[in-house]
Chain A
Amino acid sequence: MVYATLAALVLPLAAGAAGMSRGFNKLLEAVVRIDVREIEFENGAKRFTGGIGSGVIIAEDGLVLTNAHVVSPQAVEISVTLANLERVSATLVGWDHWTDLALLRLDTASLKARGLGFSAANFGDSSELFAGQTVYAVGTPHGLTRTVTRGIISNHNRYFEDTGGVNGHETGSFNTWLQTDAAINPGNSGGPLVTEDGKVIGINSRTYIGAENLGFAIPADVARRVAAALVKEGTITRSYIGLVPGVLQDLERFYALASNTGMLINRVDPGSPAAKAGLRAGDVLLTLNGKKVDGRFPEQLPPIQQTIASLPVGAKVALEVKRGTQVMPFTIQTEKLESRVGEEWAFEKWGLSVRKVTRAYARENQLLDASGLIVLGAQPGYPAAEAGLARGDIITKVGSEPITELVRLKKVYEAYEAQPGPQLVEAQRNRRISLYVIKP
């Protein structure tokens, strides 16, 4: 008994030196480097770009977790370098830019044929972390494969949102982040943040450029949930009602509220379900489906957003809202959450690249509806640029064909390829309509 107790006391201490922990060694075997080639539709052309990131194998069947800003659906070639320095290709299972996570699957058949193995890491519980706890970041900073850096948890509940954080896509609305001072550099993205015993408690994802030792990771609890959903569905469906929350702190007295009650509605997206139901900026949300809401501090907002997002699409949600001295009930039907970044494409003979206008983009830019394609770029000297089209124009019509969806322009383009001829293009900029002619 005495020995056992001693052993129990000594072992965790010994494990404190990461290099000696069996768990930590196993983790190192599960960290990979990811090289990606992806398509980019900037400047009127289809171009290939490359990037390097990190990832961590999380299951014995070869699932790799990384960042959405490392591997997106525009990736055409994903190459994973295992701990034993062997390379294997991978495919994208799904991505979720809102949490900046992507899930890959290794080509296990190829591994088997080559007789190669790997190990999978285990998740830890990110809700039990405390500030000051020692953590390690493992990854490929600046392409330096298998780099381990050490630091502590600087804050385990950091709030920030970034409307263009993942290659122009929104991120951060539905989760808080782990902050660490372990050195995180470009290339660390997608690699794990681990405890001393090698448990993955976060996925490293970003850092403040120009600041020192301010790194951020997605908590493992979020990563685990997202990964499970991506395996199952390949995508994550969220609900949207169109409320942009604000912080109530310091405003309770003005709104005559008890402390820790309510969430300020800072904005209502025009045309959203909430706007249609009559909600207004300045209203205070008191309850959501009968449950009390507390959005006093910024850190409390992502969980509230997550609650709304996890409602089924098309479900009716009951809100109680305080407006002035009145408390008013509202019923809102949720719709599917959309990014403001739509599908992209390039029409190479025209030197024109476009992106679908989405509902979110249309609302943000006060467009009348979500039809049309935004010009991402027009290559100088090519027909689109010669006609006068420029980045930011919204193409709404070609010839007599209204361009509501991307497929419509693809169809027009196919006809053009078969038989080139002048095309009358109608485009808008700041609601100003202009006509252009694309000539072969």
Chain B
Amino acid sequence: MNFFRRLLLTAALTALTASAATLPELFNERLKSVVAVEFFVQAETERQPVTVMGTVIDAQGTIILPPAAILPGIPPAQLKDFKVYRPGSTEPANAAYLGQDAFTGWHFLRVEEKRRAGLVPITHYTAISGELSLSEELWGIGLRNRDEDFMPYFLGARVATVMKLPQKTAILGSDVASPGLPVFNATGQFAGLAQSSFGQNFLLFSRNQHATPILLINVEESSVVLLADEVLPHLGRVPQSVTGRPIAWFGAYGLQPMDPEVAKLLQRENQSGVVLSDIMEGSPAAQAGLLERDIVLAIDGRPLPRLKPDRVVVGYFGQQVLRHQPGEALQLTILRGTTQQEVSVRLGDEPKLAREADRAYLDRLGLTVREFLYNDGLMHRAKPGELAGVMVQFVKPGSPVAAAGLRTDDWVREIDGEEIKTYAQALSKLRAIEADVKRSEFVLLVSRGGETAVLRIKLI
């Protein structure tokens, strides 16, 4: 029903705009910049197919996918079989995964060379210059799923407001494109990229219950558009490696916005700020002498902007860090107590991420172990010097370790009474246990939420 209503909307809009190129003509031309992408995530015992939409950004067949297309923490090695489809087609082209850019969050793909003909990068079209005006009519492309041959359809809506979140983002009155696909104005100028849509509050009525508030998120279409001048300057950020490195690292985790009321009380009315806490030992922030409760007021001499909602300024701060390269200095103006001072932070290299960690699956025992990372230490409140043991990344249902009560995210400290210092040591012990078919049991010492337990795992 919904879909047919949209078809009607298409008809209505077409009638309204009869300029040089008609909207259907523009629509058909712009389809050359959009693709549907299929791949699957190959986990230990399962594979999960994923369909997402992407936009072509250059003549080398590079495609960007929205940040949410791939869950964080999934190692690139588990991403398999990328296939790219043109709208309305079932003929796949192969593509290679290039990695995720830390600053924009985009995932980059490259289509195999022989299938690049006919793809037109979004940069081919002029972009809207200047500000978007309120109530301006924009349109975009939606793609159906594979069972409908990724059939393209037209969506249109008016600009309701433009916000800084912290990037300039237009919110439209209704859905305007599939997330990840471009949006244009009436003359076909590039207006921006549709993002994941925001949740909307509804009340659910049923026969037995009174109204229950629910949050609905449309995963197929979105009314949120990242504006062209927040997209175009960053299209060159194709990852140099599949890990997305280099990634700059600041090293404070508990960042909170300075509440406007707090600013007033501190006689910093109309100023914006970020309160620092949870500064990790040995991190660039700690080395620069930053302390918990310091309030960052400005970066490189530029005051932090006042953004709404308040927490957006935390995102802004994070982006300012990621704009830099490891090794570069960040000049911060901070408020410590009542005194304002300048602190220079030399950014480091982001510690190894979960998706980059070494891991191994042991099928007979029924678990995947992963090396213990700096961020795991953060989660478990371990000091950097105490980074030992291995993490349980996966537990196979019904396996010996599952029967013994091992769970995902358990932290293995000892195997058979031997303290685990390195990932290699853990893996060699576990591999030996797995290979020994006469072995009837083994014992793990694991930590979980600050508690430790001895688990006895029966093998026979």
Contacts and interface: CB of A to CB of B under 8 A. Distances in A.
Interface of A: 244, 246, 250-251, 254, 264, 266-268, 270, 281-282, 324, 364-366, 387-388, 422, 424, 426, 428, 430-437, 439
Contact of B292 (A264, A266, A433): A433
A433 B295 CA distance: 11
Report, as a range, how many residues of chain B touch the other chain: 20 to 34
Contacts of B416: 254
Contacts of A244: 451
A282 B262 contact: no
B450 A366 contact: yes
A429 to B, nearest CB: 9
29 contacts: A246-B454, A251-B456, A254-B416, A254-B417, A264-B454, A267-B451, A267-B452, A267-B453, A281-B445, A281-B447, A282-B454, A364-B450, A365-B450, A387-B259, A426-B293, A431-B277, A431-B278, A432-B254, A432-B255, A433-B275, A433-B277, A434-B275, A436-B259, A436-B262, A437-B261, A437-B262, A437-B264, A437-B265, A439-B261
B256 interface: yes
Contacts of A434: 256, 259, 275
A422 B275 contact: no
A432 B452 contact: no
Given A387-B261, A422-B265, A268 B452 contact: yes
A254 B456 contact: yes
Nearest to B253: A432
B278 A432 contact: yes
A59 to B, nearest CB: 42
Given A267-B452, A436-B259, A282 B417 contact: yes
A246 B262 contact: no
Contacts, number: 82
A431 B379 CA distance: 11
B258 to A, nearest CB: 7
A387 B261 CA distance: 8
B254 A430 contact: yes
Contacts of A431: 254, 277-278
Nearest to B276: A433
B265 A246 contact: no
Contacts of B402: none
B211 to A, nearest CB: 18
Contacts of B445: 281-282
B417 A433 contact: no
B237 interface: no
Contacts of A435: 256, 258-259, 262, 275
A282 B445 CA distance: 7
Interface in B86-121: none
A267 B456 CA distance: 15
B299 interface: no
B124 interface: no
Interface string B446-460: 010011111010000
Nearest to B453: A266
B371 interface: no
B443 A388 contact: no
A268 B445 CA distance: 13
Interface string B278-306: 10000000000000110000000000000
